[in-house]
A and B are shown apart, each in its own frame.
Chain A
Amino acid sequence: MSWLRRLVGRRESLRGLSEELRSHLEERTDALVAEGMERAAAAAQARHELGNLTAIEEAAREVWRWPVVETFAADVRRAVRMLRKSPGFAAAAILTLALGLGANAAVFSVVYAVLLRPLPFPHSERLVRVFSVRDGLTVGPSPPDIRDFARESRSFEILVAYDTWRKNLATPGGEPAQIRVGLVPADYFRALSIRPLAGRLFTEEENRWGSHHVAVVSRSFWADRFGSSALLDGQSIRINDEPYLVVGIVPDSIPAWMDPASEQVRVWTPFAPSPGVWDESGRGDRSGRGFSTLGRLAPGVSLAQANAELRSIAEDLGRRHPVDAGVGVRVEPLLGTRVASLRPTLSMVMAAVGLILLLACLNVATLLVARNATRGQEFAIRTALGAGRARLASQLLAETLLLTGLGALAGLGLSWAATALLARIGPERMPQLAEARIDGTVLAFTVCVALVTSVVFGVLPALLGTAAAPADVLRTAGGRTGTGGPGHRTLRRVLATVQISLSLVLLVGAGLLVHGLLRLQSEDMGFRRDHLLTQHLFLPEVRYPDPSRITEFSDRYVARVRELAGVRDAAVTDVVPPSYRWRVGFTVVGQAPPGRDAVPTANFGVADAHLVRTLELRLLRGRDLGESDTATSPRVILVNEAFARRYFPGADPVGQRIEIGEPGTEPAASRPVLTIIGVVADTPNGGVAAPADPDILGLFRQNPEQNFGFKTVVVRTTVPPSSVAPALREVLRSLDPDLPFAEVRTMEQILARETTEGRFATWLFGAFAVVGLALAAVGIYGLVAYLVTLRGREFAVRFALGARTADVVRLVGGEGARVGLVGMGVGLLCALAAAQGASALLYGLSPRDPAAFLGGAGALVVVLVSAIAAPCVRAARIEARAALGVQGE
């Protein structure tokens, strides 16, 4: 702390100096006047006696100077002069560092936003989610389970189940819209420490079915729909055609990533998803969509304690309720769910950006080594004149720090732009990215990285640059050219080799990602992807209370759509590839009922009879669903190949019958029996990359218990699919003007959305690979060009003695080729080891995909050959006389 005291003392002591000197002069003048002198003469005399004021102040200031810092400042000034003398070197080094540091700052800003920044809630480390687990799979917990957990455990201050649903929303005078509505109890907000800005949260009574027609909205929703200055005064909104009284306004502080669909929720109604949700019959309700949970741990309770306590309660529940048998439980920090699907992308991008920084540092180190080698003489002379090695190293370090500082500044500029871009790329699927920005933490991180960078990669060249004995350097250099010793050559070879291998790792990574996406694009998905438009439809229960009304409206709507110009066919369905949501257990009629833990399951989707034709889904066996399969005829279904393979291996499933429902949950008589009439090709049903699970496709008119108000309309067009959307909207409006025309997307858009993470990683990786390739090219070019400079005189002698051009080119090219080959060999091995980490983003492509490896290596070879060729040409053009002459003069 002595330096701090000195700093404070310095300010304190110097501050009064001028005043002190002035008062000295006045006092002396007064004294002289008192002795009888004229005032003007006295003042002059006083000033004369005191001496030069500026000099005195300067001398006083000198007293406080800090020798080390002052010397270093001088070094930095000298470094600035040196860099200005070689602008090419300075620009290359600063640009390289700016790329490396800028990319790191940008990626760190994302990593910080997604992984590290605390959640925007007080004591957020105590916020958790609870999941039910069966057979290692996460199955959403049922509300009665959560209620029992909350009641019987002591680990939680608050533990709630909640949900979000797509619903139709209308406000007075506004266009009908489809939005996500949160179904939450008041404790949901309390767990997040959110207090209403106006009004109140829900009461316990309002969480009961029937008295749930109240809503809490976010401040931004309120401002959009009612105006920010409107007071809360009995306004209501219509959700699914039912009025809901707005009772409270809350801040917009719940981030979009907390919603399972990554949408910002701005309207909440009480948690009353269905009349029977709290009944015992709801306890097994975890097979379909699952509910979300949010808990706040009691103070002092650890995650492990909470997990242990809930596990024992879950075991107890399993003993009391048969449907809970074998259902485990897991408590996870809420913070962990923020990363979720981004984890593989982030790890890959972080690794890549680290490689880029390493490459950039190697390049700057190479530049510095080369530069210091040519300055050998300067150092030798200064050493001979008495400069210590530490002094020289300190000066070199000053240059490095200056370079890195300027590089970091430029890099921060780059990263600021890059972060803005990153935050804009994937907000729909990756809302976490929207929170990325360059803030104090990112700045601090960049400064630290820059410091480490300059020390590590500045010190090595500095030591090498100052190692040689001055007499040797001065003697061998002959006073003309600066040369590097063998140490330099080896070091530069190693640096170039490492660069080449690192850039190959990046290239292969980019190749794998690109190939994964391309393969996906051309992959046979079992249906035709182009010229397909989808639109979501929600028929509210109030006006469409029973399945027959829903069927009737769906049929009427889709029949009108089929008549539109540019439309070849259309279908209404509740499932569209690449996702399937409703999973059912079933038994095969005629087979022995399976045990509880081995119930066959499949996705069960229902549509009208046009779906197979509209999707152009390949029918492999049997017949399609048809208009002859009516509401009253025997229930028929199609199954996919995966279904046939798993449940009827080696046999023809057509004609077989299945019973829907898990044994023991319902009386056998009420279980629907379905007959398989055909087998269709597999379509992706759990995301585009995963292998297809068993699917069942039935008709909603035959399966009223699964005929709900939410449907998707699929349209096969002969014209660009988006162009029929306006006509579609008109049809819908003419049939029911209160229904929102929502989620209109082409199939290509849906599939693109599925691969957001992959495309995000691919773009970044591709950019990094290009930068890395450029850096490696510069590295090997520098090495070979350096060799030509260094041995130019020797080549000239060789030419003079009759060597052919080919010999010299072989000599130069050989050096480049050796380094290049070793670098590529090492790089291939590293890439093989690292590729496994990318498998999550390859959409089923093998991480050892030969095309990616060959492509990456090929690109590198092309670039390396051109980088080596240029100096070879220069070597070949050396003219003996000119080279010797120039050197001899």
Chain B
Amino acid sequence: MTPRPERDLFPGALEMMILRSVQRQPSHGYALAQQIKRASKDVLRIEEGSLYPALQRLLRAGLLKAEWGVSSTNRKVRRYRLTLAGARHLEREASSFEQMLSAVMRVLATGTP
């Protein structure tokens, strides 16, 4: 059987980070991995391999689109960019994520003695 990519994150978080990252600047797989690692200041542990299936999921959902280009190190790479649907999706998810996060925080806060 296929080993499912293990996520230290909750489902959907990686996708959202990819979308946000790509929204700021269209980039290819390796660059995305580095960006996310950098941006999370190495707090979040992401297995790099899980990035690629996630990209395929987003492609399939039509939230990203891919095009071939040349990287800064002069390699042929596939660069991802946000689609209109992707931008809308990110907007929605980000706000619901924030609501959820604040709700979790409230619950955690009331729980402290």
Contacts of B75 in A (CB 8 A): 23, 26-27
The count of residues in chain B whose C-beta lies closer than 8 Å to any C-beta of chain A is 27
| Among A6, A27, A52, contact of B49 (Cβ-Cβ < 8 Å) | A52
Nearest CB of chain A from residue B35's CB, rounded to whole Å:
13
- Report the bound CA distance from A10 to B59 in whole Å: 9
Interface: A19 (CB within 8 A): yes
B73 cross-chain contacts in A, Cβ below 8 A: 27, 30
The contact of B52 among A21, A26, A27, A30, by CB within 8 Å, is A21
Sorted nearest first, the 8 A-B pairs with minimum C-beta distance are A51-B49, A59-B53, A60-B56, A63-B56, A27-B30, A24-B30, A56-B49, A60-B53
Contact A56/B66 with A13-B60, A49-B48 known, Cβ cut-off 8 Å: no
Tell me whether B96 is interfacial, beta carbon within 8 Å.
Answer: no
- Does A388 have its Cβ within 8 Å of any Cβ on chain B? no
B78 interface residue per 8 A CB criterion:
yes
Stretch among B2-10, B18-26, B86-94 lining the A interface: B2-10
**What's the Cα separation between A10 and B62 when bound, in Å?**
12
- Asked whether, in the complex, the Cβ of A63 is within 8 Å of the Cβ of B57, the reply is yes
Chain A residues closer than 8 Å to B28, beta-carbon distance:
20, 23
Complex alpha-carbon distance, A415 and B35, angstroms: 65
A23 to B31, CA, bound (A): 11
A16 within 8 A of B: yes
Instruction: Report the minimal beta-carbon distance from A372 to chain B, rounded to whole angstroms.
Output: 32
Given A19-B76, A27-B71, A62-B53; A52-B59 close (CB under 8 Å)? no
A50 and B48 in contact (CB under 8 A), knowing A16-B66, A26-B75, A58-B2?
yes
Interface string of B27-66 (1 = CB under 8 A from A): 0111001000000000000011110110111011000001
* Contact of B76 with A56 in the complex, beta carbons under 8 Å: no
Q: Does A64 lie at the interface of the complex (its beta carbon under 8 Å from any beta carbon of B)?
A: yes
Evaluate contact between B2 and A62: CB separation under 8 angstroms: yes
B77: A residues at CB distance < 8 A? 20, 23
> 17 extra interchain contacts, Cβ-Cβ under 8 A, other than A56-B5, A60-B52?
A9-B59, A13-B56, A17-B52, A17-B56, A20-B28, A20-B78, A23-B28, A23-B30, A23-B75, A24-B33, A28-B30, A52-B3, A56-B49, A56-B52, A59-B52, A60-B53, A60-B55
Q: Tell me the residues in window 3-25 of chain A with beta carbons closer than 8 Å to chain B beta carbons.
A: 6, 9-10, 13-14, 16-17, 19-21, 23-24
Given contacts A23-B75, A51-B48, A55-B2, contact A14 B30 (CB under 8 A): no
Q: In the complex, A21 Cα to B55 Cα: how many Å? A: 12
Best-buried of B2, B33, B50, B52 by chain A (most CB within 10 Å): B52
Chain A residues lying within 8 Å of B60, measured Cβ to Cβ, are 6, 9-10, 13, 63-64
Show 30 residue pairs from A and B whose CB-CB distance is below 8 angstroms, ordered by the A residue.
A13-B56, A13-B66, A16-B68, A17-B52, A17-B56, A19-B76, A20-B77, A23-B71, A23-B75, A24-B29, A24-B33, A27-B73, A50-B49, A51-B48, A51-B49, A52-B49, A55-B49, A56-B5, A56-B49, A56-B50, A59-B2, A59-B52, A59-B53, A60-B53, A60-B55, A62-B2, A62-B53, A63-B53, A63-B60, A64-B60
B20 to chain A, nearest CB (A): 20
On chain A, the residues within 8 Å of B2 by CB distance are: 55, 58-59, 62
**How many angstroms between the C-alpha atoms of A16 and B79 in the bound complex?**
11
Bound-state CA distance A6–B3 (Å) is 24
Least CB distance, A816 to chain B, in whole angstroms: 53
Identify the interface centre among B33, B56, B57: most chain A CB within 10 Å of its CB. B56
CA distance A690 to B2 in the complex (A): 78
Report how many A-B pairs have Cβ atoms within 8 Å. Answer: 79
CB contact list, A29-51 vs B, under 8 A: 30, 49-51
Closest residue on chain A to residue B59 by CB atoms? A13
CA distance A826 to B22 in the complex (A): 75
Measured between beta carbons, the chain B residues less than 8 angstroms from A28 are 30
Q: Which of A639-692 contact B (CB under 8 A)?
A: none
Chain A: CB-nearest residue to B61: A63
Q: Residues of B contacting A62 with CB < 8 Å?
A: 2, 53
Asked if B48 and A55 sit within 8 Å, CB to CB, the answer is: no
Return chain A residues, CB-CB under 8 Å to B29. 20-21, 23-24
Q: Is the CB of B47 within 8 A of A51?
A: yes
- Find chain A residues with CB under 8 A from B56 CB: 13-14, 17, 60, 63-64
- In the complex, residue of chain B having the shortest beta-carbon distance to the beta carbon of A61: B56
Give the chain B neighbours of A58 by CB distance below 8 A: 2
Q: Which residues of chain B come closer than 8 Å to A59, judged between CB atoms? A: 2-5, 50, 52-53
Report B83 CB to chain A, min CB distance, Å.
Answer: 12
Give the distance in Å from the alpha carbon of A60 to the alpha carbon of B30 in the complex: 16
Chain B contacts of A20 at CB under 8 A?
28-29, 52, 77-78
Question: How far apart are B42's CB and chain A's nearest CB, in angstroms?
Answer: 13
CB closest chain-B residue, reference A31: B34
> Could you tell me the distance between the alpha carbons of A51 and B45 in the complex, rounded to whole angstroms?
13
Residues of A within 8 A of B53 (CB): 56, 59-60, 62-63
Shortest B69–chain A CB gap in Å is 11
Task: Tell me the bound Cα distance from A53 to B48 in angstroms.
Answer: 11
With a cutoff of 8 Å between Cβ atoms, the chain B residues found around residue A14 in the complex are 56
Query: How far, in Å, is A70 (CB) from chain B's closest CB?
Result: 13
Residues of the B chain whose Cβ atoms lie less than 8 Å from the Cβ of A51: 47-50
Q: How far is the CB of A604 from chain B (nearest CB, A)?
A: 86
